[in-house]
Amino acid sequence: MRSLVVAVVAALLVAAQSPSPTSSVSSISGAPPPNGTATAPTNGSGPPTFAVTLASTNPTAIPLASIVATLPVTATTIPLPTSETAGAVPTGVAGAPPLPNILGINPKDYPPLDHPPPTDSPEVQQWIAQLSNFEFPNISVTQTGGCPNNTDAAKDPTRCWWTCGQCFQSTDIVTCPDKLTWGSSFDDGPAPYTPNLLNYLNQQNLKTTFFVVGSRVISRPDYLRTQYMSGHQIAVHTWSHFPLTTLTNEQIIAEFGWSKKVIKDVLGVQPIYMRPPFGDIDDRVRAISAAMGLTPVIWTSGKASNNVSFDTGDFNIDAGTISSSGVLKNFTNILRNATVINSGFIVLEHDLFQQSVELATGYVLPAALAMNLSIQPIVQCQHMPLSNAYLETNDNSTNPLPTGVGGTPLATKPPSSTGGSSSSGSGGSGSNTKGSNGDVKTLSIGILSSMLAALIGSLAVCC
């Protein structure tokens, strides 16, 4: 059956490389025709447009020509089907605690929205103290601007900096084990059009992973509760969505800590998976992530996919740097490469903007469904139950977390009685965090050994 699917997908994608013989880019307008051809007119301005043939499209989809940076808000957001009440228990997460009461949650008790949290708050100081027995790699922070502004760092292979070269470690999740299995994910919400996406997913009986931004969780807690109670995986995408390698150790701890806290306050559980914003991760960020009980998840790219990035580019429509048909062209390239690699794959999409939601529900997901791809949340595409997505319900015998001193998971380790301290060093370099008792565990001995144990214990889900 799988070989038949591969053949069908390959045939469809060969057709996608040229315009439909009965349609031209310049003459098509209105809703997509029944044959699935999705095109946008070439008008000489804006980003390039392409003729793309998909296996299927949603007959109610907004025309591609209308999905542009200046998209007028013509479609209304769909209201949430219900308001989840305190005490409700999700049916898909075995052993989950009841939903907490969120009536007392006050945004003033959390950091400012969309900015890296201060590091001098009692909460952040407590999280820093919890990590006081670990020494993180002495890797300097990067400057904003990516690879061109960090030429030395970009050439340094010891960093394993994903941003410049798509380097990933064996402890990063970048694929799904089974061929033609799609680890589905959407980043940067909850956002105004997230309910529209949820409505479509519910209609199609699809589940996905939402990498949520803490600042947006506190702004729309009811959205997050609906996502969670509907059986979708919730994962961390930091508090402010800043590139993590540009932040100090203390700032990274604050980003992860506040994200986990607000999700726990709203849902009663805290995720054990995270995605770095922009994929910006190096071995320093990985070490802090592991120490805080978080496993990195990145979309398929680099050596995992013959150097093809499984990023649709949908985030950039709102900025006007890619057309909607350009996103679909990227998607057809993703599907073509999915038939070639020997594993499943993880695609980067977003629910932050109306444009990306319209593309997902009108074009991308209908095409994937027509191709009989297996679409799953990322934790489930790793052959694990949804309960393994959260600290409170995870099966530590099959999915062990990185451990702290004495084998206690750092995600639940109480603050050190000696307090501990950390310093950002000089010249903007990352800090080394060490307890006052001198009990230091380096990345190579402490974190990697525990992560190796995790890999051995769950070999079936190794990527």
Q: Tell me which residues are annotated as active site.
A: 187, 350
* Cα 320 from Cα 331, distance rounded (Å): 18
63, HSE (Cβ side, Cα atoms, 13 Å): 11
Strand ranges for 148-188 from DSSP E: 181-187
Contact 298, 281 (CB under 8 A): yes
Count of other CB atoms within 10 angstroms of residue 1: 7
| Alpha-helical runs (H) found in 339-400 | 354-359, 365-370, 378-381
How distant, in Å, are the alpha carbons of 78, 89, 126, 338, 441 from that of 331? 26, 36, 44, 10, 43
- In angstroms, the first-to-last Cα distance of the chain is 23
* Cα 327 from Cα 199, distance rounded (Å): 22
Assign 337 to helix, strand or coil. Answer: helix
Assign 251 to helix, strand or coil. Answer: helix
Angle (nearest 5°) at CA 371 between 369 and 377: 50
* Cα 344 from Cα 364, distance rounded (Å): 17
Assign 291 to helix, strand or coil. Answer: helix
* Cα 65 from Cα 342, distance rounded (Å): 36
* Cα 270 from Cα 393, distance rounded (Å): 9
* Cα 328 from Cα 331, distance rounded (Å): 5
Count of other CB atoms within 10 angstroms of residue 68: 17
Say what angle helices 221-229 and 249-267 make with each other, to 10 degrees: 70
Strand ranges for 205-270 from DSSP E: 209-212, 233-236
| Alpha-helical runs (H) found in 271-398 | 283-291, 324-338, 354-359, 365-370, 378-381
